[in-house]
Amino acid sequence: AQSVTQPDIHITVSEGASLELRCNYSYGATPYLFWYVQSPGQGLQLLLKYFSGDTLVQGIKGFEAEFKRSQSSFNLRKPSVHWSDAAEYFCARFQEYGNKLVFGAGTILRVKS
Protein backbone atom coordinates (compact mmCIF):
# COMPACT_ATOMS: atom_id res chain seq x y z
CA ALA A 1 0.00 0.00 0.00
CA GLN A 2 1.11 3.52 -0.63
CA SER A 3 2.41 5.06 2.57
CA VAL A 4 4.24 8.01 4.04
CA THR A 5 6.90 7.71 6.74
CA GLN A 6 8.15 10.46 9.02
CA PRO A 7 11.04 8.91 10.94
CA ASP A 8 11.29 11.58 13.62
CA ILE A 9 8.53 11.83 16.21
CA HIS A 10 10.05 14.85 17.98
CA ILE A 11 12.67 17.37 16.95
CA THR A 12 14.03 20.21 19.05
CA VAL A 13 15.97 23.07 17.51
CA SER A 14 17.23 26.38 18.81
CA GLU A 15 15.61 29.55 17.58
CA GLY A 16 17.53 30.84 14.58
CA ALA A 17 18.96 27.42 13.71
CA SER A 18 18.19 25.60 10.49
CA LEU A 19 15.58 22.85 10.30
CA GLU A 20 15.07 19.73 8.22
CA LEU A 21 12.10 17.41 8.72
CA ARG A 22 12.28 14.08 6.96
CA CYS A 23 9.59 12.41 4.87
CA ASN A 24 9.77 9.23 2.82
CA TYR A 25 7.07 7.82 0.59
CA SER A 26 6.51 4.42 -0.95
CA TYR A 27 5.34 3.50 -4.45
CA GLY A 28 3.88 5.72 -7.10
CA ALA A 29 5.49 6.79 -10.33
CA THR A 30 4.97 10.49 -9.66
CA PRO A 31 3.57 11.05 -6.21
CA TYR A 32 1.67 14.18 -5.35
CA LEU A 33 3.23 15.32 -2.07
CA PHE A 34 2.27 17.85 0.57
CA TRP A 35 3.47 19.32 3.83
CA TYR A 36 0.88 20.54 6.35
CA VAL A 37 1.36 22.21 9.72
CA GLN A 38 -0.96 21.83 12.70
CA SER A 39 -0.81 24.15 15.69
CA PRO A 40 -2.56 23.10 18.92
CA GLY A 41 -6.32 23.33 18.54
CA GLN A 42 -6.02 24.32 14.91
CA GLY A 43 -6.75 22.58 11.65
CA LEU A 44 -4.15 21.62 9.12
CA GLN A 45 -2.61 24.44 7.10
CA LEU A 46 -0.93 23.71 3.79
CA LEU A 47 2.72 24.79 3.70
CA LEU A 48 3.61 23.60 0.20
CA LYS A 49 2.96 20.93 -2.39
CA TYR A 50 4.78 19.11 -5.18
CA PHE A 51 3.09 17.76 -8.27
CA SER A 52 5.71 17.95 -11.01
CA GLY A 53 8.41 20.18 -12.46
CA ASP A 54 11.05 21.86 -10.35
CA THR A 55 12.00 19.51 -7.54
CA LEU A 56 12.63 22.36 -5.09
CA VAL A 57 9.35 23.93 -4.06
CA GLN A 58 8.82 27.07 -2.04
CA GLY A 59 6.04 27.43 0.45
CA ILE A 60 4.64 29.83 2.96
CA LYS A 61 6.38 31.04 6.12
CA GLY A 62 9.83 30.61 4.57
CA PHE A 63 9.60 26.84 4.18
CA GLU A 64 10.85 24.84 1.23
CA ALA A 65 10.96 21.16 0.33
CA GLU A 66 12.97 19.10 -2.11
CA PHE A 67 11.63 16.09 -3.97
CA LYS A 68 14.27 13.40 -4.50
CA ARG A 69 12.97 10.50 -6.50
CA SER A 70 16.15 8.43 -6.03
CA GLN A 71 15.69 8.57 -2.26
CA SER A 72 11.88 8.54 -2.23
CA SER A 73 12.07 11.60 -0.04
CA PHE A 74 10.38 14.96 0.30
CA ASN A 75 12.16 16.70 3.17
CA LEU A 76 11.00 20.03 4.56
CA ARG A 77 13.57 22.70 5.32
CA LYS A 78 13.78 26.17 6.80
CA PRO A 79 17.04 28.12 7.08
CA SER A 80 16.19 29.92 10.34
CA VAL A 81 13.51 28.73 12.73
CA HIS A 82 11.31 31.12 14.70
CA TRP A 83 9.63 30.31 18.02
CA SER A 84 6.25 30.54 16.27
CA ASP A 85 7.19 27.56 14.09
CA ALA A 86 6.69 25.23 17.04
CA ALA A 87 3.88 22.91 15.92
CA GLU A 88 3.29 19.46 14.46
CA TYR A 89 4.19 18.89 10.82
CA PHE A 90 2.63 16.29 8.58
CA CYS A 91 3.83 14.99 5.26
CA ALA A 92 1.12 13.58 3.00
CA ARG A 93 0.47 12.23 -0.48
CA PHE A 94 -2.56 11.55 -2.62
CA GLN A 95 -3.31 7.82 -2.43
CA GLU A 96 -4.87 7.91 -5.82
CA TYR A 97 -4.90 10.69 -8.34
CA GLY A 98 -6.82 13.58 -6.87
CA ASN A 99 -8.54 11.53 -4.17
CA LYS A 100 -7.79 10.89 -0.53
CA LEU A 101 -4.74 12.07 1.36
CA VAL A 102 -2.46 9.61 3.14
CA PHE A 103 -0.57 11.19 6.03
CA GLY A 104 2.57 10.36 7.93
CA ALA A 105 2.43 10.12 11.71
CA GLY A 106 3.74 13.65 12.11
CA THR A 107 6.81 15.30 13.61
CA ILE A 108 6.47 17.57 16.63
CA LEU A 109 8.82 20.52 16.42
CA ARG A 110 9.96 22.22 19.59
CA VAL A 111 11.87 25.49 19.42
CA LYS A 112 14.09 26.47 22.31
CA SER A 113 15.19 30.02 22.95
Interaction site with other proteins (CB under 8 A): 4, 32, 36, 41-46, 49, 51, 90, 92, 94-95, 97-106
Residue closer to other proteins by CB (options 67, 94) is 94
Q: Specify the pairing of strand 56-58 against strand 64-68.
A: antiparallel
In angstroms, rounded to a whole number, what is the distance separating the alpha carbons of residues 4 and 93?
Answer: 7
Least distance (Å) from other proteins to the CB of residue 107? 10
In angstroms, rounded to a whole number, what is the distance separating the alpha carbons of residues 84 and 15?
Answer: 10
Least distance (Å) from other proteins to the CB of residue 15? 25
Least distance (Å) from other proteins to the CB of residue 84? 18
